[in-house]
Amino acid sequence: MIEISEVGPRDGLQNECKLVTTEEKIELVNRLIDAGIKNIEAVSFVNPKVVPQMADAEEVLKQLPKDKGVRYGGLVLSRSGLNRALQTEIDYLHVVTTTSDTFNLRNAKRTVDHAVSELSDVIKEGILANKKAAGVLGTVFGCPFEGEVSLDKVLFAAEEFLKAGCTEITLADTTGMANPSQVQTVVQTFKDTFGKDLALGLHFHNTRGLGLANTLAGYQAGVRRFDSSIAGMGGCPFAPKAVGNVCTEDMVNMFHGMNVATNTDLETLLETSKWLEDVMGRSLDGMLLKAGIC
């Protein structure tokens, strides 16, 4: 069965010019829960001056339903983000670094080694405070500034995060540079290095139209946990041209067509996407929004 990690409330909204209200964010999460989603990246603990779309993280978490068996994750990029997260009831810290020195230096003023060292301490502190942690590694499949990223550097970051206490690793294609063959190679290398029991997830952007193809490649390589965003929304404020995550309802439609269970209701997901189009006041990118369910 596929485990969906829905990132729409965070990754989907963070790159939008329109500021969605706290109440609309709560309704979005509730609609996703009604569709069967059990793993939701709900907020981001980043500097509100940099990403104002996520400024109400604490208030959002206060109002989310706590009795529906849903796991809520929050993005953490720094110690200050950790301090904010620890004042909330967030379930999982999604601790993020990119694996490209050029990308990191441009956006965080530190090398990958420096970032991994600092964030490993953040992970340890979070775990001591009774939070769980998942490591998210960006630019795994390519960097918009330096091109190919060394897989050795990716493996190093993953190993350090696992040593620090992360129970999961997600490999992110930050600007949509991956291809299916590369995905299968990287996944197999991770399995060979860390064993088949590693809780491995994949996060793809559809920037160059390969999001679902890369998802299928990951599935065929043995991955069962995928990030996706309702209506295909998303992007990264720090990465040029990082537009559009893999669309949740399109991904579910693909897996259902393959007779692979997702424990979600496709019609409810599509209705949520239509509702979100009205909220955003523009056409969104999901294909089922345009074509409908067969």
pLDDT tens digits for range 134-160: 999 999 999 999 999 999 999 999 999
**Count of CB atoms situated within 10 Å of the CB of 282:** 10
Distances 33 to 134, 170, 265 between C-alpha atoms, Å:
21, 22, 10
Range of the domain at 105: 3-285
Asked, for residue 234, whether it belongs to a domain, the answer is yes
Helices 151-164 and 180-194: crossing angle, nearest 10°? Answer: 40
**Residue 292 included in any domain:** no
Q: How far is residue 39's CA from residue 106's CA, in Å, rounded to a whole number?
A: 31
Q: Is residue 162 part of a domain?
A: yes
pLDDT band at 60 (very low <50, low <70, confident <90, very high): very high
Cβ 229 vs Cβ 13: under 8 Å? no
pTM (two decimals): 0.96
Count of the separate structural domains present in the chain: 1
Q: How far is CA 44 from the centre of its chain?
A: 11
Residue 240 is predicted with a pLDDT of 59
For residue 156, give the CATH number of its domain.
3.20.20.70
Asked whether residue 186 is domain-assigned, the answer is: yes
Whether pLDDT at 187 is above 90: yes
Where would I find the beta strands (DSSP E) of the chain? 3-6, 39-44, 71-76, 92-98, 132-138, 168-173, 200-204, 225-228
pLDDT in tens, 199-256: 999 999 998 999 999 999 999 999 999 999 999 998 666 655 656 899 999 999 999 9
Look at residue 239 in the predicted model and tell me its pLDDT.
59
- Tell me how crowded residue 192 is: count the other CB atoms within 10 A of its CB: 9
For the residues 175-179, what does the mean pLDDT come to? 93
CB 246 within 8 A of CB 285: no
Q: Please give the backbone phi and psi of residue 224, each rounded to the nearest 5 degrees, phi first.
A: -125, 0
CA distance 137 to 202: 10
Q: E strand or H helix at 25, and its extent?
A: helix 22-34
State the residue for tokens 């960006």: 138
Whether 178 is covered by a domain: the verdict is yes
Q: Which residue has the tokens 């490209």?
A: 100
Residues that are catalytic: 236
Collapsing DSSP to helix, strand or coil, 108 comes out as helix
Residue 101 domain-assigned? yes
CA atoms within 13 Å, Cβ hemisphere of 115: 30
**Residue 53 placed within a domain:** yes
Q: Does the residue 293 lie in any domain? A: no
Asked whether 151 and 189 are in contact (CB, 8 A), the reply is yes
